[in-house]
Amino acid sequence: MNVKVVGRILQANDRIASENRAIFKENGIYVLNLMSAPGAGKTSLLERTIQGLNGKKKIGVIEGDIATHRDAERIASLGIPVVQINTGGACHLDANMVREALSELPLKDIDMLFIENVGNLVCPAEFNVGEDEKVMILSIAEGDDKPLKYPLMFQESSALLLNKIDLLPYVDCSIEKIRDDVAGLNPGIRVFEVSCKTGAGLDDWYNWLMVKGCRG
């Protein structure tokens, strides 16, 4: 695939993303694009967040996976409107996929939409889908070398959640190194140290969402 073709693909995606953004604005919906490697804890974070914001925000979810409906079923069990997108092999969601999913959601009854992207540390950061914020989840079990090896996702995100801090005694990972490297890539990023298993640190994440959502 040559550079011109890639450029046309990204331009077309950005046009649809702008149209998505207009739909979200018209309906008063604040949108977050959740990105991470597979297994970092995106769905667990969503479950915790839905419970933590219970009654404070009307939440909707778009689930992106290559295959299966398992994550969508977990979210639906919490009484949340959710649509599953199966990419059939594509390593990220794009704006057109999100556009197709919107017709399946009760947009008038949602004021905060989470888009759980396909697990991948590269491609999801390249494609805008019309979101207000990109948010990254990094499991500390993945190691502290990821910011410098996969910089774009860290550069594009408004917030970084360092998940699974309950595993710190058992893994070779320096949170200080991650923080230093991320600060060099994106000085304005907000970093949260959390555990979706124990609930540690999640209140700060909920508060950030409430503040950002009110401004969105």
**CA–CA distance, 92 with 76 (Å, rounded to integer):** 22
Those residues whose C-beta lies under 8 Å from the C-beta of residue 107, and which sit 6 or more positions away, are 23, 27, 29, 60
Q: pLDDT over 70 for what percent of the chain?
A: 96
Name the residue among 117, 123, 119 with its Cα closest to residue 6: 123
Name the residue among 121, 111, 169, 167 with its Cα closest to residue 145: 121
pTM confidence score: 0.94
Fold of 3-215: Rossmann fold (3.40.50)
Alpha-carbon dihedral of residues 35, 133, 55, 82, nearest 10 degrees?
-50
Radius of gyration from C-alpha coordinates of the chain: 17
Q: Which segment of 9-13, 18-22, 65-69, 165-169 scores lowest on mean pLDDT?
A: 9-13
pLDDT at 9 over 80: no
Structure tokens at 195: 């555990």
pLDDT of residue 55: 86
Name the residue among 143, 142, 124 with its Cα closest to residue 134: 124
Give tens-digit pLDDT for 54-99: 889 999 999 999 988 999 999 999 999 999 999 988 899 999 999 9
Half-sphere exposure of 114 (CA within 13 A, CB side): 29
Structure tokens at 66: 């290559």
**CA–CA distance, 185 with 155 (Å, rounded to integer):** 6
pLDDT at 216 over 70: no
Confidence of residue 115 (pLDDT cuts 50, 70, 90): very high
